[in-house]
């Protein structure tokens, strides 16, 4: 894997605009790179931490949390490929490629995770807002949250999108339509869309996640 691959090239290859290559949407970029087989590996979601040389209240084992729900790729040869963390001093934006280290913490693979694997919900991590009423009630119920939530984190959205079809009954249509509205259709397995929205699956199969 070349360290000279540019983010501009990756953006063109995936069709994801450069403005969306940021920490909050980093998992979507990683998923596109893996699903399109541009990078071989697994797209993960976890916490990105920086070494903390100046102790403070949020110090954690010598590291400071910079981003939660942060995405990166664990390549087939065990390296970290971080397309949203550029190499310092580069003439052009180049993704960081490094060995696995403690900056990349508590990784979860949404393709294999269950809802029970999702860590505690923090309002500060919410990205995708939920309409008051039915949407908030349904997603809170799916996630088994006693207190209603106002939005979904990236991890919650990614794990829910990939759940077994029967696990989301009887709310499949509402869930999938919400995720499509949030431009997260690529996280939804095509086989599930075939069951809930067969016309949409026939019309735009490439907009959804095609399992092997």
Strand partners, 129: 151
Residue with tokens 């596109």: 32
**How far is it, in rounded angstroms, from Cα 10 to Cα 93?**
11
State the DSSP code for 177.
H
Neighbours of 105 (CB within 10 A): 16
pLDDT of residue 15: 86
Decide: 75 and 40 in contact? Cβ < 8 Å. yes
Decide: 158 and 45 in contact? Cβ < 8 Å. yes
Angle, to 10 degrees, between the axis of helix 134-142 and the axis of helix 154-161? 80
**How far is it, in rounded angstroms, from Cα 2 to Cα 185?**
30
pLDDT of residue 53: 67
> What is the helix, strand, coil percentage profile of the chain, to 5?
35, 25, 40
Per residue of the chain (212 residues), what is the pLDDT tens digit? 545 678 888 888 888 888 888 899 999 999 999 999 999 999 999 999 987 766 555 555 578 888 999 999 999 999 999 999 875 545 567 788 999 999 999 999 999 999 999 999 999 999 999 999 999 999 999 999 988 899 999 999 999 999 999 999 999 999 999 999 999 999 999 999 999 999 999 999 999 998 76
pLDDT of residue 86: 73
pLDDT of residue 3: 55
């Amino acid at each position: 894997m070349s360290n000279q691959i540019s983010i501009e090239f990756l953006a063109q290859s995936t069709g994801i605009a450069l403005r969306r290559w940021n920490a909050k949407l980093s998992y979507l970029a990683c998923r596109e790179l893996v699903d399109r087989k541009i990078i071989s590996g697994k797209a993960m979601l976890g916490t990105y931490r920086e070494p903390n040389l100046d102790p403070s209240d949020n110090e954690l084992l010598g590291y400071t949390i910079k981003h939660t729900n942060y995405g990166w790729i664990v390549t087939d040869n065990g390296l970290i490929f971080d397309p949203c963390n550029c190499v310092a001093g580069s003439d052009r934006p180049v993704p960081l490629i490094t060995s696995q280290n403690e900056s990349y913490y508590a990784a979860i693979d949404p393709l294999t995770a269950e809802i029970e694997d999702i860590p505690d919900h923090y309002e500060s991590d919410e990205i995708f807002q939920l309409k008051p009423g039915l949407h908030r009630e349904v997603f809170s119920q799916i996630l088994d949250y006693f207190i209603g939530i106002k939005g979904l984190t990236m991890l919650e959205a990614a794990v829910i999108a990939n759940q077994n079809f029967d696990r989301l009954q009887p709310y499949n249509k509402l869930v999938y339509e919400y995720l499509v509205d949030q431009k997260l259709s690529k996280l939804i397995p095509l086989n599930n869309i075939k069951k809930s929205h067969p016309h949409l699956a026939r019309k735009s199969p490439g907009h959804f996640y095609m399992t092997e």
